[in-house]
Amino acid sequence: MQLLSGLVKTTVPNYLSGLPIPDTFGGWFRLGFKDWLSLVPPTAAVAGVVYMSYLAFCPEARPKPSQKANNKIRLEEAKVVDMIDIEDIAEKAAFCRCWKSNNWPYCDGSHGAHNKECGDNLGPVVVQRKKN
């Protein structure tokens, strides 16, 4: 705690008082290269704080996640539709619902990585023959 206290009470004020900030508007034009260079770090810090505050208090400024569920499978088609006859299924088949499978429309377990990354709970649709 003493480190933080010393930083706020002594180090930062001493650093800020040593910056070459002119008293007049015309003084900005008389600053040398080294003076401008010494103003870069505090300017970047202030810009970062302003930007982070802007993102925190203006939710519409945040980048929007992709609204598309399918970012991979037959993107050139207006609608992806597959017909699978029940007779073609041996015992059971797992069908992909996450659009991440490399063996689409069948599930290959790709939803596992998606679920870990996003905290989601996607899983396949399993179609099974009725046992007589």
Q: Give dist(CA 55, CA 100) in Å, integer.
A: 31
Question: Is position 34 annotated as part of the catalytic site?
Answer: no
Q: Give dist(CA 8, CA 5) in Å, integer.
A: 5
CB 21 within 8 A of CB 1: no
Quick one: which H or E segment has residue 78? none
User: 34, 79, 92, 130: which is the annotated catalytic residue?
Assistant: 79
Residue type, 28: W
Instruction: Cite the active site residues.
Output: 79
